[in-house]
């Protein structure tokens, strides 16, 4: 079973893979994939849980990472 570690920076992928060794796959999100909405407060009553939305490129990145996780 291969484990997946997601990091933000693509520059760190090879370095981290080297240290983790066999059985690990490291993938990068290359930045934020979710954010608070621009036109709303971004939290929901009564518990004030954040209401995240995908960034412009977030949907494609999440789909790619999800595919890697299911492999």
Q: What is the pLDDT along the chain (71 residues), one digit of tens a residue?
A: 889 999 999 999 999 999 998 999 999 999 999 998 888 777 877 888 888 899 999 999 999 999 999 98
pLDDT number for residue 42: 78
Measured CA to CA, the distance from residue 60 to residue 62 in angstroms comes to 5
Dihedral sign of CA atoms 16, 18, 10, 67 in order: negative
Burial class (CB in 10 A: 0-12, 13-18, 19+), 54: middle
Whole-model pTM over 0.85 = no
Instruction: Delineate the domains of the chain, giving CATH numbers in brackets.
Output: 3-70 (3.40.50.140)
């Amino acid at each position: 079973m291969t484990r997946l570690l997601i990091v933000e920076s693509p520059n760190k992928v090879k370095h981290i893979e080297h240290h983790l060794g066999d059985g690990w796959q490291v993938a990068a999100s290359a930045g934020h994939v979710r954010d608070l909405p621009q036109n709303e407060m971004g939290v929901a009553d009564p518990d004030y849980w954040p209401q995240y939305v995908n960034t412009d490129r977030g949907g494609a990145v999440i789909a790619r990472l999800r595919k890697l996780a299911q492999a």
